[in-house]
Amino acid sequence: MFLKGLYSIGIYLASFVVKIAALFNSKLKQGVIGRKNTFSKLQYIIKSKDKTFWFHCASLGEYEQGLPVFEALKAKHPNYKVVLSFFSPSGYEVRKNTKIADVVVYLPLDTTANAKRFLDLVNPDYILFVKYEIWPNFLHEIKKRDLKAILISAAFRKDQAFFKWYGSYAKSALFGFKHIFTQNENSKSLLEGINYNSVSVSGDTRFDRVSNQLKIDNTVTFIEDFKDDKLCVVFGSSWPDDDKLYMDFINSNENLDVKFVIAPHNIKPSYVASLKSQLNVKTICYSELTEHQNLADYKVFILDTIGYLSKAYSYADIAYVGGGAGTTGLHNILEPAVFGIPILIGKNYEKFPEAKTLIDLGGVTSLGSSSAFNASLNALITDDVLRKRQGDITKSYIHSNIGAVVKIMDYLES
């Protein structure tokens, strides 16, 4: 009881601090304003007679991870209403109009009163949380009501509070889930070590998610026109530290018969202008497209828009995935891997098991300097056999890890 009170006090204090900080931070302000509207939106959309599913994700990455399961469950039960909640503005703002849900809201702060009110309004038949989302007050209320809640694609580490002597309140929250599907055996063993035994290894639903990309039409006419049947390198979700790795290669190889697509993580006009100014080869941005341009004349295409990166990877012969050159966090390497191409990344990848595995297998190469980048990319461009061998490794890795959605749906439908 003491730990619960301490946790709740911490939530209230955090709420106060966030509201003050929101006066100076637009992203925090979005969350504060959005949470004020959660209950009114639920009251308007969800009626007491409705049968409902509640899907919850921290942010956009978790949403993409859970989406194959959300879609499968929705397809099985089309008459159910879906409530989708996010904790982070970066998830909510991008997916607030997603067709998978009838209403998209911010998760209220984790207080007992909020949990009771939220569950009273939603009254979910099934609850799916994704990966890391463990909110004790919500989960204790879920357990009290004996609701069907599961956690999918969970990944645990032994240094987390659930597995420490001081983490009893956080640990007890896990028992609010009827079942937990983990990404790996290590996470399963950690849970069994605290006597949580309703656990299965399903793998990572992200493999199913990216595999679905192969089932859709990935045609992007302007990228096709730009590529012009040349070898193409796509730099996905790049940050300034990533730019430093590859910029010299592009500028030093003006006569190389290769095209480059850069999809920066930051697409603000000032950043894109700065990026373009560093290139001394013929470059065009998506925002500059007009009807009668000959895109084949350009060496670099800057994709300063959202929504095209996954399809852009289908045109790549080689991909560089950003985030690993600095400390922002490596972006999703599975998106290009599904197309069976070799992948280059920066030096910081230790927190990303799929990157570690693919490096060991030989499908991904980690680089810590511009010179190392130049050597690796040049080898892949000039050696067709090497490029195919590494691409086959990434493709095989994806194929061998699909199936998590089937395992989870088998449980849900049993």
Edge-first strand listing for the sheet containing 283-285 = 283-285, 300-302, 258-264, 231-238, 318-321, 343-345, 364-366
For residues 82 and 274, give the distance between their C-alpha atoms in angstroms, rounded to a whole number.
Answer: 42
- CA-based torsion, 16, 22, 27, 33: positive or negative: positive
22 exposure class (CB count in 10 Å sphere: 0-12, 13-18, 19+): middle
Count the Cβ atoms, other than its own, within 10 Å of residue 52: 21
Q: Exposed, middle or buried: residue 92 (CB in 10 Å: 0-12, 13-18, 19+)?
A: buried
The tokens for 362 are: 């030989």
Q: Is 62 one of the annotated active-site residues of the chain?
A: yes
CA 369, CA 98: separation in Å to the nearest integer?
40
Cα angle for residues 189, 195, 198 (degrees, 5° grid): 75
Instruction: For residue 349, give the DSSP letter.
Output: -
391 neighbors 363 (Cβ within 8 angstroms)? yes
DSSP conformation letters of 177-211: SSEEEESSHHHHHHHHHTT---EEE---HHHHHHH
For 108-134, give the DSSP string.
Answer: PPS-HHHHHHHHHHH--SEEEEETT--
For residue 386, what is the enclosing H or E element? helix 384-400
Tokens of 88: 């982070």
Alpha carbons 404 and 119: distance in angstroms, whole number: 28
Q: How far out from the chain centre does Cα 14 lie? A: 25
Give me the catalytic one of 62, 64, 133, 335: 62
Q: Which segments within 239-359 are labelled E, that is strand?
A: 258-264, 283-285, 300-302, 318-321, 343-345
Catalytic residues: 62
